[in-house]
Amino acid sequence: MRLNPKTKGKVMKLRIGIILTAVACLFAAAPAKAVIVNIGVGDRPYYVHGPGYWAGPRYYVWAPGHWGWRHHHRVWVHGYYRVR
């Protein structure tokens, strides 16, 4: 069975398309194995000005976080800056 030149071109394009799709799928699957790990410790995200800072005439100091009671449950109360 012989194929005419038009049909040969279509078959070749189809084969190339299938091969390129398979190769693209192989490369696309590689980044899916990446793992990102973030570790946060304590109140650090809230502690941005250091142990204290001036804001106008007032001096603010860091009050560290602590465990407290809220509605009969122990909860973590985040640290905050308060006027000294």
Model confidence pLDDT, tens digit, residues 10-39: 888 889 999 988 888 877 665 656 778 877
Q: According to the model, what pLDDT value does residue 68 have?
A: 95
Q: Tell me, what amino acid is at 78?
A: H
Give the pLDDT band of residue 41 (cuts 50, 70, 90): low
pTM: 0.42
Can you tell me the distance from the alpha carbon of 65 to that of 46, in angstroms, rounded to the nearest whole number?
Answer: 10
Can you tell me the distance from the alpha carbon of 13 to that of 5, in angstroms, rounded to the nearest whole number?
Answer: 12
User: 22 in helix, strand or coil?
Assistant: helix
Does 65 map to a domain?
yes
Greatest CA separation found in the chain? Answer: 95
Does 29 map to a domain?
no
Domain limits at 59?
44-83
